Structure 1
Amino acid sequence: MQDVLIRPFRASDAPWLVMQHGLLYARDEGFDETFAPLVHSILTDFVAWHDPTRERGWIAERAGERLGSIFCVALDDKTAKLRLFLLMPQARGLGLGKRMLGTCMAFARSAGFTEMRLWTHESHEAACRLYRASGWHLLNSKHVHSFGVNLVEQSWKIQL
């Protein structure tokens, strides 16, 4: 994975990211058609309103092929939120997720945040193992019905 570039997100990446979230979450999690519009809304707001000194997105890319994404956005003055962490199936299990998470967390620290939070689902076992191994702590879990399926939502945090 040394040949993978982790580059800044560009607005032109948004359609690809919305499509991949919709396709992969439908295939792997059974999510319905309400999920991709949520991703679209998140990205539309990011493109229009993000503060580039404190908020960033990245795309992992190899030879022009996009392999994943990760975003850091502000929750408040001291807390950042990790969002839209996605790895394409062909890029999983190769250490790229760890690299991307490290990039995002290092940026959050350099931007002055003292804590990060994230929201995920219990079914994302590999991501949850990565969070735990990187020092994140599970805050809570709850059963929900979202995007047409029953899920266990999780909230995580880390002190930076």
Structure 2
Amino acid sequence: MTDSEALRRAQAVRHFNRFYTRCIGALHEHLARSEFSLTEVRVLHELSRGHAQTASVLGRALGLDSGYLSRLLTSFERRNLITRRPSDMDARQSLIALTGHGHATYAPLEDAAVQEALDLLDKLSAPSQEQLIAAMKLIERLLGDQPKPEPVLLRQPRSGECGWLVHRQAQWFATQYGWDQTFEGLLARIVADYAQRNDPLREQCWIAEQAGLVVGSVCIVGVSTTVAAVCLLWVEPHARRLGIGMQLLDECVRFARRAGYTKLTMRTASTFMEPRRLCERAGFRLAGAAAEHRFGRDLTIERWELEL
């Protein structure tokens, strides 16, 4: 990355930070009319979730200085908002929980915060609301400490998603490997042919969704009456090594057997270790490899096969 490109991206992050800070300020205007600061409300919210916590856990969860948090909790205790009791696991630690008065005090703050969020969303159409929420979830996923092994839903594509998958993969391979538009053309043909044939008994496409985000895809298409091909196998970079690729490939194998195919094939470039690893784990064997000039690059294209 050039210095100018790095600077452009850094400035974009700073611009978003300023914008989001203004939005957060608008969302928490009610705090100016209450006795609590934003940080105090965050602590009350964390404690309102129903399980007692230690100060060290609270501090890590909220990114708060231990000394500041200690003074804040002492203030809460004086106002009968919290109780402290020794931890059964570690006598040096105290478990902190909201009192009945604490819950009653926090409840209107929670209601006001929810209403202000609803007011903000009300300015947007329903599709725009979903787009905003998806973008927020993506930011959390990309900037989080590590991906969480949350449940993955495999479902049929919704309107527009097949086209998005073409766009996403073409964009990523162009950026990462310099592949040209012929790759996008290949993806578009696969999707167009699949959609036009519309043969759900012999062909299927699955979208992998995790925590409301599209994190992967795969498509199985008929090559002949006995052979099917795995296409569009994709897992978002931030969601890899969570078993999603294996889940998608296993679904292809199950479908191919139910549909009566006797062989499943998949093609991939030899330099891509993850698809090769998935094929090996699923029981595919390497049936052949050939040097080809494709997508503007000299590649070795491997053909993997699974007898069903």
| Normalised TM-score (structure 1) | 0.94
In 2, Cα distance between equivalents of 1:146 and 1:50: 28
Query: Does 1:40 find its partner at 2:188?
Result: yes
Measured at CA, do residues 117 and 151 of structure 1 come closer, stay the same or move farther in structure 2, by a change above 3 Å? Answer: same
Query: Where does 1:111-130 land on structure 2 (aligned, <5 Å)?
Result: 111-130=259-278
Contact 2:150 2:211 in 1 (8 A): no
Q: What is the SS of the residue equivalent to 1:34?
A: helix
Unaligned runs of 5+ in 2: 1-148
Q: In structure 2, what is the equivalent of residue 154 of structure 1?
A: 302
Give the distance between the partners of 1:10 and 1:75, measured in 2 at CA.
24
After superposition, what is the alpha-carbon deviation per residue over 1:70-123, rounded to whole angstroms, capped at 9, x for unaligned?
111111111111111011101111111111110111011011111101111111
Q: 2:216 — aligned with what?
A: 68
Number of residue pairs matched by the alignment: 160
Larger Rg: 2
Specify every segment of 5 or more residues in structure 1 that has no aligned partner in the other structure, as ranges: none
Q: What amino acid does structure 1 have at the position aligned with 2:208?
A: A
Q: Say which of 146, 156, 163 aligns to 1:15.
A: 163
Which secondary structure does the structure 2 equivalent of 1:138 belong to? strand
Conserved in 2, the CA contact under 8 Å of 1:55 and 1:73?
Answer: yes
The structure 1 segments of at least 4 consecutive aligned residues displaced by more than 3 Å after TM superposition are none
Residue 80 in structure 1 maps to residue 255 in structure 2: no
Determine what percentage of the aligned residue pairs are the same residue.
34
Partner of residue 137 from structure 1, selected from 264, 271, 285: 285
Q: Which has the higher strand share?
A: 1
- RMSD over equivalenced CA pairs, Å: 1.2
Q: Give, in angstroms, the shift of residue 62 of structure 1.
A: 1.7
- Whether 1:27 and 2:175 are equivalent positions in the alignment is yes
**Structure 2: distance between partners of 1:114 and 1:19:** 32
Alignment check: 8 A CA contact 1:5 1:60 kept: yes
Higher RCO (CA 8 Å, separation ≥ 6 residues): 1
1:35 Cα deviation (Å)? 1.3
